[in-house]
């Protein structure tokens, strides 16, 4: 597979511990580089960046462990536009090393982790992320 880049962003609210929000992000993207910014509203924003399919190994493993590959496939496919897959994860669930896709209609007071994956072939990447154990997918 061609170049894969992953970017994630989460706002740290007043009632949150910044280290815990960072841990939530690292639980999903452990190899990412996380930077801290101040938003226009004065809140801290954490932005993570990672490159390569390997940076998504933990996310892939969590999808398997949580047994949500089919649901994830549907969500990721519907979240694809061109060469970009954009979706959101629940911060609190990520903190305990699980995956729950954030439903914008059921607002969480602490907001989501917003993730954007860019790649040449999103369908192939989604197939790899959500492949059943033992199912072969082309990685290159």
The model's pLDDT over 58-99, given as tens digits with 9 standing for 90+, comes to 999 999 999 999 999 999 999 999 999 999 999 999 999 999
d(CA 24, CA 46): 11
Domains and CATH numbers, the chain: 5-129 (3.30.1440.10)
Q: Do residues 34 and 48 make contact, with C-beta atoms less than 8 angstroms apart? A: yes
Decide if pLDDT at 140 tops 80. Answer: no
pTM of the model: 0.88
The two structure tokens encoding residue 80:
């694809």
d(CA 78, CA 101): 13
Residue given tokens 């897959």 in the structure block: 85
pLDDT confidence of residue 118: 97
pLDDT confidence of residue 1: 56
The two structure tokens encoding residue 105:
């209609």
103: pLDDT confidence band, cut at 50, 70 and 90? confident
Task: Give tens-digit pLDDT for 43-60.
Answer: 999 999 999 999 999 999
More confident residue, 106 or 49: 49
Q: What is the edge-to-edge ordering of all strands in the sheet holding 84-90?
A: 33-38, 44-51, 5-12, 112-118, 84-90, 80-81
Conformational region of residue 118, where left means phi above 0, alpha means psi within -120 to 50, and beta covers everything else: beta
pLDDT confidence of residue 112: 93
Mean pLDDT throughout 24-39? 95
The two structure tokens encoding residue 70:
């089919």
């Amino acid at each position: 597979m061609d170049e894969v880049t992953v970017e994630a962003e989460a706002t740290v609210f007043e009632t949150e511990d910044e280290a815990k929000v960072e841990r939530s992000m690292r639980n999903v993207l452990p190899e990412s580089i996380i930077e801290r910014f101040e938003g226009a509203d004065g809140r801290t924003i954490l932005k993570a960046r990672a490159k390569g399919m390997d940076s998504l190994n933990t996310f892939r493993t969590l999808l398997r462990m949580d047994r949500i590959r089919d649901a994830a496939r549907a969500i990721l496919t519907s979240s694809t536009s061109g060469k970009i897959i954009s979706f959101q994860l629940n911060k609190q669930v990520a903190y305990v090393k699980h995956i729950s896709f954030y439903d914008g209609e059921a607002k969480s007071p602490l907001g989501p982790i917003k993730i954007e994956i860019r790649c040449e072939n999103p369908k192939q990447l989604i197939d790899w992320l959500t492949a059943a154990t033992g199912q072969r997918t082309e990685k290159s």
